[in-house]
Structure 1
């Protein structure tokens, strides 16, 4: 009895991990007429001549990893209708130059991993694709030097991680932490990540915070230390979950003695509306700013 015939008999199987003996050895699973219908996790490691025909029929599948598959054809069209798929991972699984996530596809997907897709140059995410996607991980896709076209449509995206990617892509945007990046303004893409909880621009040359900050309703920490920002827009008051607001820099003053002077920011009126605030530094408040002192 061959391997595929044996798998067909395991009708209650929920997880299946299959790897070829060698990375470049062909993993032949086409003779499997149908996989166990209760399969929730599937991981295939090895070269595939084409995507197994039975994968699109795994309606219970939650997690799918394709590793070292070296597929030449875009596999997304065959996978996009899987009704319960929540995690999709490609590790050296595709050799084409582009991937397109089409509108209406991957309706339950929450996590996407793309690793070592050495031929990949571009990704497109159409409006309506992956509406519940929360996390994206890009690793070692050396030819991808731009963020996916249409990433702004992913309104539930909370986390974007870029590892071992081209500098052109990673330098201007590491969504959660932009400390020390050579930036003069906050990238507009940041304001599309409405579930973002932490944003640091510490040590950048950013000089103002746009009104678009109001979109980050779930932001809990805003770190603007050592930037050039001196005041915040009134729209900051819409961030009712904000707990840590850090905005100051040190300046060296030469008088008779050289000493450091801390410079803070001018707070907007009604800063007391930030009811979740736990840490605030520093507000510049003079005699004319007694309203701010009263609210705090």
Structure 2
């Protein structure tokens, strides 16, 4: 009997594991299906919510049709969760619902309780802030976000509600993003460095534009006063012609003729010899007397 019990226990464990996997798969697919249906219904509701306001009294009438992509069910879901709920922020729980379905399908071990907690807080925070825009577009924050915003304004006023919203945002960032003074300093340094780089780029562009504008002005000035160029010589400056008297004297007379031309048959070579003048010997005493006489005359 003991051997039979040992053989049957592994089969039971395998069957139980398979059933648990099947249940997780079915549950995950169901959650994912709901997330897709809600997403389609909500997206369509943002475009057709005004046209579908008149069908709530005739939901049971099959002849009445809704313009929502999911028909009457989509219009009902959008009116319930978006209009009466938290408006545009309702996409946060829908995304968390899809993430939960994927966790069951793929048997992920990541805990989602923390994400659901912070996601719900972010949903309320966003809808309350959209409540400031209720007069312009009531569907963004929904009725719930508008009522919470109005309740806070009754006791804190508009300025107090805004300050409370900023303080809540700071708390969310501290816990979610794990902000520390060091990280804040790093973020501030990055922002200031980017601003400085942008300022330098703007200054460089402006200086380059100024230089190019000056060059264009110089070109325009040069083109406005072009140099005077002679048509025939292409010279910018032509000096005035002056008659040179010495050259005029050196010119030969018109009646000048050569009486004894040199014949071409002459083959003799005439050698010219230059006689060197003999240097006269000067007596220094005589030269001194001449200089003294000239000095006396002066």
TM-score (norm 2): 0.20
Higher relative contact order (CA 8 A, sep 6+): 2
Structure ID, larger Rg = 2
Higher-strand-fraction structure: 1
